Amino acid sequence: MTSIVAPVAGKVVGLAGVPDPVFAEGMVGPGSAIDPVRGPGVAVAPISGVVRKLHPHAYVIVDAEGRGVLVHLGIDTVKLDGEGFQLLVEEGARVAAGAEIVRWDAGSIEEGGRSPICPVIALDADPARVTVTAGDEVHTADPLFTWK
Amino acid sequence: MAERQVKVATDVGLHARPAAVFVQTAAVSENEVGLTKDGRRVNAKSILAVLGLDVRNGEEITIDSDDETVVNRLAGLVTDTGETGAPRNPR
């Protein structure tokens, strides 16, 4: 079983709380979503593994079993072209769950007219094997969901 | 075996949302479906593999499968530029 931790602190809104139908309907995969605490912060690795893909606004970590977890920092943030995001690791780096990955500011994303909600997705996972374990609020690196 | 080489016209390439639609479309086929970029071929039914390929706007990709319908459908997805001719924003 893989235990996925919260990449950011905030309110657990679930995928249904993501203002984007593709995420909300679970098309990217099962998981959860966090409405992050506004202000400058650091998004961390949701699992231990290798940073397979690192964009300013999104990253994928793959664990030793080949399971990948996507963290997407805000919605439509691909269009910011990296502005407001500072990468703290390099693609290919081996990281532990909770390791700092991207410095960003959820408040400034919102001020720019975009939702800062962060979907956290178990890629290629069977939805029946993913169980959200977090309560209403999480601190960074608190347990978020499990993947059996 | 059907194979089509296409230039990606969607403005953010195959990033999370368009990649999800691409993978779900591929998954409908009973046949194996491959996606190749720069000589690297991955399983087009895996969102992890497709995101890992990091396909961007303007890049050339090749889609292959014994299922010609799915190849054409996927090619249509990434080359759909809407009615204006401008690259369409996927949602």
Over residues B40-71, the pLDDT tens digits come to 999 999 999 999 999 999 999 999 999 999 99
Query: Dihedral sign, CA of A47, A48, A52, A57?
Result: positive
Instruction: Please name the residue of chain A whose CA is at the shortest distance from the CA of residue B46.
Output: A124
0.90 exceeded by the pTM? yes
Per-residue pLDDT, B90: 46
In the sheet where A143-147 sits, what is the strand order?
A: A2-5, A143-147, A130-132
Mutation target vs A (from B47, B54, B55, B56; most A CBs, 10 A cutoff): B47
Could A28 and B19 be called an inter-chain contact, meaning their C-beta atoms sit closer than 8 Å? yes
Mutation target vs B (from A15, A53, A73; most B CBs, 10 A cutoff): A53
Using CA atoms, how far apart are residues A65 and A53, in angstroms rounded to an integer?
Answer: 17
SS3 content of chain A, % helix, strand, coil (to 5): 15, 40, 45
Mean pLDDT of A52-72: 97
The CATH fold assigned to A2-147 is Glucose Permease (Domain IIA) (2.70.70)
Annotated catalytic residues of B are 15
A72 is catalytic: yes
